[in-house]
Amino acid sequence: MGVQTVKVSDKTVNDFEETNKNIELIVDRVEEINNISSTNARSVEEIASATEHLNTLTDQLNVKLETFHT
């Protein structure tokens, strides 16, 4: 009975270590996803800003072009 108990304990410890490795991997992947999401959010903000700037330039160009329409 003692040898069997040691084997079961060893398996439990091995399973625990494997579970710990898997959890660490999941945490790493979630952190990667978080970093990608943050980068994407910044990119969207930059695109929105650029869009606003282009709209302003377009409006200014339209005003200048209107001087040629008489």
How far apart, in whole angstroms, are the C-alpha atoms of residue 24 and residue 15? 14
Q: What is the dihedral of CA 27, 32, 36, 38, to 10 degrees?
A: 50
pLDDT band at residue 5, thresholds of 50, 70 and 90? confident
Q: What is the dihedral of CA 13, 16, 21, 26, to 10 degrees?
A: 180
pLDDT band at residue 3, thresholds of 50, 70 and 90? confident
How far apart, in whole angstroms, are the C-alpha atoms of residue 46 and residue 58? 18
One-letter amino acid of 9:
S
Tokens of 55: 């709209």
Answer yes or no: pTM beyond 0.95. no
